[in-house]
A and B are shown apart, each in its own frame.
Chain A
Amino acid sequence: MNVEFMLNGRKVSALIEADDSLYTVLRALGMYSVKCGCETTNCGLCTVHMDGKAVLSCSVPAARCAGHEITTLEGMQDEAKLLGSCLAGEGAEQCGFCAPGMMMNVFALAKENPHATDDEIDAFLAGNLCRCSGYVSQRRAVKKYLSIKAGEVCV
């Protein structure tokens, strides 16, 4: 079957199987920031935005995406640059494998709760697993990013 949706602001059309996940289709469309880690909906690696909300693309049926707006990290490069520099500055990244999924969830957090406290950051990002840099430095980086966005800190 054929499915049409908006991908990073552009209309795309893809030939899909009935049981394809959004993740599979995004990879086929060259969105390599989207990765699959756990296959059990736990790791957050495959996070993208669907109509502005962070979802796990490994579990969203591709057929359900018809007419919806999908955003991946490829479509948020300016934001990614800023958050990426905060992550690097706080030593919050080693292998970087979890970063795209985590960053997409941070963008969702920034929209929903731009002045999030430490506890709120931890709770919001609980579904983004990282196995190398650790969560304390990530939290510092996210706080810095939110402060810059709020105009409280200069870049």
Chain B
Amino acid sequence: MAKYKNYVLARSIEEAYELNQKKSSVIVAGNMWLRMCGMNKQTAVDLSLLGLDRIEKTQDGFVVGAMTTLRALETDTALNDAFGSVFARALAPIVGTQFRSTATVGGSVYSRFGFSDVSALLLALDAEVVLHQRGVVKLSEYQLEAWDRDIITHIRIPGGQRASVQSVRVSGTDIPTLVCAAAKSEKGIRIVLGARPARAVIAADGLKLVDAQNIHIIEEIAGRTAFGTNLRAGEAYRRRIAPVLMARAVKGCMECEAKEAAEDEC
């Protein structure tokens, strides 16, 4: 359990940022991961009173507050209508409903966990991270950076995309052994591989549909991606199942598009 001397419910993002500049402070979001870290900190800075838990539809897509819970992403009708229920399907395997009612999107993105279903999906959707100090950064860049003391306020998700996430787990609610997220936009198909077990990477971007549906090309892309071994699976196993998940994720995007076209016709 993490140990704190002071617990501050920040009244403004400026206050939270100021407090967090000290190494002895830590931001508290859902607290699901933090509680398991045996860290000793002087000040815990809680973001729960800052109104950062809203999902807003904009002209270009969605803006999601950093304190939005995974359960809110999973159950938000507008968000799931816009992306073919991908949030509902991709996040449902994460631990349990009570867990997802507290764990946040900001905590997931900041932590850059290799095993994150959340990061893999947002990376496929070409999301942007809004930081209090630095402003807007592409998640594809943020994902590669080291942890710093800035605060994520929002995540921006561009609209007009279809996406699908596939994962393999040793058992139902465990962290994934491998995740593949694919998204189709006007720029083509982007395929992300996560839980390799290292951080999620963009394995392919701007792929034409004919190429994304060609298993030889998919195998070639998987062949170029780095995989590793951990307690959940070996490198060879991950390499073997990656093309299967990739093909299924691409198929998922196409099915989602076809379903929407049929609904539009109705």
Q: Give residues in A with beta carbon < 8 Å to B.
A: 1, 18-19, 21, 39-42, 44, 47, 53-56, 58-61, 63-64, 66, 105, 108, 123-128
Q: Which residue of B lies closest to A54 (CB)?
A: B98
Residues from chain A with Cβ under 8 Å of B35 in the complex: 21, 41, 58-59
Residues from chain A with Cβ under 8 Å of B172 in the complex: 126
Q: Please report whether the interface of chain A is mostly helix, strand, loop or mixed according to DSSP.
A: loop
Total A-B Cβ pairs within 8 A: 82
Whether A127 contacts B7 by the Cβ 8 Å rule is no
Whether B9 contacts A59 by the Cβ 8 Å rule is no
Whether B97 contacts A105 by the Cβ 8 Å rule is yes
Residues from chain B with Cβ under 8 Å of A18 in the complex: 4-7, 44
In the complex, chain B residues 93-107 whose Cβ is within 8 Å of any chain A Cβ = 95-99, 101-102
Once the chains are docked, how many angstroms separate the CA of A21 from the CA of B1? 9
Q: State which size class the interface on B falls in.
A: 20 to 34
Residues from chain B with Cβ under 8 Å of A66 in the complex: 9
Q: Give residues in B with beta carbon < 8 Å to A.
A: 1-7, 9, 28, 30-32, 35-36, 44, 46, 48, 92, 95-99, 101-102, 172-173
- Asked whether A53 and B36 contact (CB < 8 A) given A19-B3, A59-B30, A123-B92, the answer is no
Whether A55 contacts B7 by the Cβ 8 Å rule is no
Once the chains are docked, how many angstroms separate the CA of A151 from the CA of B1? 45
Residues from chain A with Cβ under 8 Å of B9 in the complex: 63-64, 66
Residues from chain B with Cβ under 8 Å of A1 in the complex: 7
Point out the residue from A19, A58, A128 that lies within 8 Å of B7, measured CB to CB. A19
Whether B96 contacts A128 by the Cβ 8 Å rule is yes
Once the chains are docked, how many angstroms separate the CA of A143 from the CA of B98? 20
Whether B96 contacts A19 by the Cβ 8 Å rule is no
Whether A63 contacts B46 by the Cβ 8 Å rule is yes
Q: Which residue of B lies closest to A62 (CB)?
A: B7
Whether B95 contacts A42 by the Cβ 8 Å rule is yes
- Asked whether A47 and B31 contact (CB < 8 A) given A63-B7, A64-B9, the answer is no
A-B contacts, 17 listed (Cβ < 8 Å) = A18-B7, A19-B2, A47-B98, A54-B98, A55-B98, A55-B102, A59-B35, A59-B102, A63-B7, A63-B9, A63-B46, A64-B46, A64-B48, A66-B9, A108-B98, A126-B96, A126-B173
Q: Which residue of A lies closest to B102 (CB)?
A: A55
Whether A44 contacts B98 by the Cβ 8 Å rule is yes
Once the chains are docked, how many angstroms separate the CA of A66 from the CA of B98? 20
Once the chains are docked, how many angstroms separate the CA of A18 from the CA of B44? 8
Say how far B75's CB is from chain A's closest CB, in angstroms: 8
Whether A108 contacts B4 by the Cβ 8 Å rule is no
Once the chains are docked, how many angstroms separate the CA of A1 from the CA of B5? 11
